[in-house]
Amino acid sequence: MSPLLQLFLAVALGLLALAGVLHFIGWLGASGGLFRRVSDVLCRAPLVDVVLFAFTAVPWIVGAITHGWLGVAMSVGAQVGALWAWIILHEITHPAARKGPRIYRTLDGIVGRFRNHFGMWWTAWVVPVFWGVRFGQYFVYPVITWTTRLPKYRQGDWVNMSRQKFSGLVGYDLIWCLYCDWMTGVWSLGSEMLRNVESFWCPIRFYSEKKCENCKVDFPDVAGGWVAADGTMQDVTKVLQEQYGTIGPVKPWFGHPARLTIDGADPAPRR
């Protein structure tokens, strides 16, 4: 057997075995007790990131170390193969849900089968991007909170997975919903961190009103405290003093208290 084929089989079987272990823990945890607590912990950051890293990035790393870029490609192929095997097995074991209403079938009818599935699989390209975001959330932002007292967060309250509990969600639909479950939490946490960073270091509106209008959805301080684009540096320093100079030890963005802080409490109110 060729080394590349050995790599393919090792990755595919390893991923299926890991999925089987997680299913077994979930099955044992259904009745409560220790395994329920273990299952819950595995679905929240940081351990959910460890599990997902094992499913996504570890095969790439192993492939790169053993066979270079060809090994990475073979590992990706093994991941896709293992994923399809899991989808088929999961749907076989849930026949009623498989035959019932499905997300992908509904969207197939709305936008077309090829467009729908091609679009879903195309989103897989951004998985490395989200790992880059997670790296920043784990290793960059915490240093900033130490130096500037920006709010800390319980990352597990943002980055967790729970859609596997939704009744009737199985197989193909479930795997994509779990992907979105993790991805949305990661992005939302990153946006919250960036709101703190942006308002703290540069509370100045953009010259483009269209950009301000677009950005205020994710950065409410654009319309709730940032200095006008035609303002002065005196205006900026005044806002910084008003927003941060008279506040307690934690420095959240202007329009919202620091949500889900490490200590479970909002920062001290402005005086």
**Span 34-84, pLDDT tens digits:** 999 999 999 999 999 999 999 999 999 999 999 999 999 999 999 999 999
**At 88, is the pLDDT very low, low, confident or very high (cuts 50, 70, 90)?**
very high
On whether residue 42 sits in a domain, the answer given is yes
Token readout for 186 is 């990661």
- pLDDT score for 221: 94
Judged against a pLDDT cut of 80, whether residue 225 lies above it is answered with yes
On whether residue 165 sits in a domain, the answer given is no
Judged against a pLDDT cut of 90, whether residue 224 lies above it is answered with no
On whether residue 179 sits in a domain, the answer given is no
Token readout for 98 is 């498989």
Give the Cα separation of 246 and 251 in Å (integer).
10
Arithmetic mean of pLDDT, 171-196: 97
0.85 exceeded by pTM = yes
Judged against a pLDDT cut of 70, whether residue 266 lies above it is answered with no
Percent residues over pLDDT 70 in the chain: 94
* Residue of higher predicted confidence among 131 and 269: 131
Q: Identity (one letter) of the amino acid at 220?
A: P
On whether residue 135 sits in a domain, the answer given is no
- Mean pLDDT, the chain, rounded, equals 92
Place of tokens 């089987």: 20
Arithmetic mean of pLDDT, 171-197: 97
Token readout for 22 is 């997680």
On whether residue 250 sits in a domain, the answer given is no
On whether residue 68 sits in a domain, the answer given is yes
On whether residue 160 sits in a domain, the answer given is no
How many Å is the Cα radius of gyration of the chain?
Answer: 23
- pLDDT score for 265: 52
Q: What is the rounded (10 degree) CA torsion for 246, 251, 253, 255?
A: -50
Q: Sign of the CA dihedral 131, 135, 138, 142? A: negative
CA distances (Å), origin 31, targets 34, 41, 44, 95: 10, 16, 19, 23
**Residue 76, exposed/middle/buried by CB under 10 A (0-12, 13-18, 19+)?**
middle
Judged against a pLDDT cut of 70, whether residue 262 lies above it is answered with no
**At 257, is the pLDDT very low, low, confident or very high (cuts 50, 70, 90)?**
low
**Residue numbers of the domain that contains 27:** 1-93
**What's the total number of domains in the chain?**
1
Give 3-state DSSP helix, strand, coil % of the chain, rounded to 5. 70, 0, 30
Give the Cα separation of 175 and 172 in Å (integer).
6
On whether residue 10 sits in a domain, the answer given is yes
Percent residues over pLDDT 90 in the chain: 86
Judged against a pLDDT cut of 70, whether residue 114 lies above it is answered with yes
Give the Cα separation of 246 and 204 in Å (integer).
20
